[in-house]
Copies of this chain bind each other. A is one copy, B any other.
Amino acid sequence: MHMQDLIRQLREPATTKIVLLVADGLGGLPITPGGKTELETAITPNLDKLATEGTVGLSIPVAPGITPGSGPGHLGLFGYDPLEHIIGRGVLEALGVGVEVGPRDVAIRGNFCTIDATGHVTDRRAGRIPTSTCVKLVEKLRAHVKIEGVETLIEPVQDYRFVVRFRGDDLGGAIEDTDPGRTGVLTLEPKPAAGDPASAKTAKIASEFLRQAKGILHDESPANFATLRGFAKHPNISSFADVYGLNPAAIAVYPMYRGLARLVGMNILDPGHTLEDQVGVLKAQWNSYDFFFLHFKYTDSTGEDGNFAKKVERIEELDKAIPEIVGLNPDVLIVTGDHSTPSRMKSHSWHPVPLLMWAPATVRPDYVTHFGERDCLQGGLGQILAKSIMPLAMAHAGRLGKFGA
């Protein structure tokens, strides 16, 4: 039986509240042999207190050795198997700029490019035009593109990148990129998967989009055409309410994480700008929801920057927010990350992520008194797949009945 079907069967109504605090890219590495990781270096008295009272372990985002992007990383934390639910690039890009993607939608990444008079590509990124130019060109496309039988939405992203969303009936997403991948050749026609009429329909629409775009952008320079990549349908994914019977809210500053939360049916709250703002929203909305996903970005971005000291600071900032969250008396508080982002690697990594579960009424404590990578190895949760965290949270919140007699 599939775990989510089992949870649907076993879940029980309760008035308990669960907080999932995601410190993006939390896990790290020492920068010198024998040294400490970012989390081990940070002074975190509040997280250490939670680790002492609760139980810890490590979360494996997807599978051993697999480094996830933000999409699979968060799907795992939300209890969905990231290997079963693939979020296409177009969808992720759309979510990242706040474009909703629903079951009737196909989302696509667009690149402005430069072609010569014979249509051959001379620059696949149109000289990396600034975002302001991108915005202006998108507005021009919006004003003139008109395709029958489909609702077309275009949104700028950054530099030469934009997003297109087609909304309509029976649209498929299995279409090859039109970016030829090199210069000196013609752009490609959108080619649907063989024997897939839905994707053939989208391909025809995309082809018409490109034909019109070529005319509209003809006089522009250097961005006088566009390519389309990462065609993707909305993934067929059950909502949080459907699987868990929870009424969830997301408090995330960055659009991408709001988008991922929306994908599983979370209510999106206006998060403000700082972690303090986010905790303020949590307090203000405490009585309106029974699950809160609170996303803290900067443990990842400092790691991506390779800034060990700044990542330590950001972890300490997170630690300072803990007492106010605990003061709300959640029944279950989880602190973890969607993946590791060691500042030594300046990138996401596959290393298991420190995981903390605090649940005063139901947790079985272990001997661990500090929240750090090596301490977590001694914890009661062991090393578990990220997708197991939600079932455990549901159990600790008294929201799962007994399986069988």
Contacts and interface: CB of A to CB of B under 8 A. Distances in A.
A66 B391 contact: yes
Nearest to A367: B374
A72 B394 CA distance: 19
B364 A395 contact: no
B351 A92 contact: no
B401 A67 contact: yes
A17 to B, nearest CB: 17
B395 A66 contact: yes
Given A350-B395, A377-B366, A405 B70 contact: yes
A87 B404 contact: yes
29 contacts: A1-B83, A1-B84, A6-B66, A6-B83, A10-B66, A29-B362, A33-B53, A62-B403, A64-B391, A65-B390, A65-B391, A65-B393, A65-B395, A67-B401, A68-B403, A70-B405, A72-B404, A73-B404, A89-B405, A92-B405, A342-B364, A350-B395, A350-B400, A351-B364, A364-B373, A367-B374, A367-B377, A377-B380, A382-B383
B404 A68 contact: yes
Sorting the interface of chain A by its residue count into under 10, 10 to 19, 20 to 34 or 35 or more gives 35 or more
Contacts of A33: 53
A74 to B, nearest CB: 10
A268 interface: no
A348 interface: yes
Contacts of A403: 62, 66-69, 72, 82
A269 interface: no
Contact of A66 (B63, B83, B89, B400): B400
Interface string A342-378: 1001011111000000000010111100000110011
Contacts of A34: 365
Nearest to A64: B388
Interface in A121-165: none
Contacts of A400: 65-67, 350
Contacts of A350: 392, 395, 400
Given A3-B63, A366-B377, A374-B366, A86 B392 contact: no
A255 interface: no
Contacts of A401: 67
A64 B342 CA distance: 28
Interface in A52-110: 53, 58, 62-73, 82-84, 86-87, 89, 92
